[in-house]
Structure 1
Amino acid sequence: MDIALWTIQGLAAIGFVYSGWLKAFRYEQAKASWGWVKDVSKAFVVFIGIVELIGAIGLILPQVTSIAPILTPIAATGLAAVVLLGALFHVSRKEYREIGVNIVFFSLAALITICRF
Structure 2
Amino acid sequence: MDLLLWVVQILLGVGFVLSGIGKFVSFGAAMQERQAYREDFTGAQLKAVGALEVLGGFGVVLPWATGIAPILTPLAAAGLGLLMIGAALVHRRRKEPFTVNLVLLAMAVIVVAGRF
TM-score grouping bracket, smaller chain normalisation: over 0.9
Identity %: 39
Question: 1: distance between equivalents of 2:71 and 2:11?
Answer: 20
Provide structure 1 residue ranges, at least 5 long, that are not aligned to the other structure: none
CA shift for structure 1 position 45: 0.6
Question: 1: distance between equivalents of 2:41 and 2:32?
Answer: 10
Where has structure 1 moved over 6 Å in runs of 4 or more? none
Provide structure 2 residue ranges, at least 5 long, that are not aligned to the other structure: none
Question: 1: distance between equivalents of 2:86 and 2:35?
Answer: 16
Partner residue, 2:37: 36
Show the 5 A alignment for 1:41-80: 41-80=42-81
Show the 5 A alignment for 1:1-117: 1-24=1-24, 26-28=25-27, 31-95=32-96, 97=97, 99-117=98-116
**Cα RMSD between the aligned structures?**
1.3
CA shift for structure 1 position 32: 4.8
**Number of paired residues?**
114
CA shift for structure 1 position 19: 0.8
Contact 1:62 1:72 in 2 (8 A): yes
Question: 2: distance between equivalents of 1:86 and 1:69?
Answer: 26
Amino acid in the other structure paired with 2:107:
L
CA shift for structure 1 position 90: 1.1
Question: 2: distance between equivalents of 1:55 and 1:111?
Answer: 15
Contact 1:23 1:49 in 2 (8 A): yes
CA shift for structure 1 position 85: 0.7
Assess, with a 3 A threshold, how the Cα gap between structure 1 residues 46 and 32 changes in structure 2: closer, same or farther: farther
Question: 2: distance between equivalents of 1:94 and 1:103?
Answer: 15
TM-score normalised by L of structure 1: 0.91
Q: Deviations over 1:14-58 (max 9, x none)?
A: 11112111002x133563540110221011011100000000010
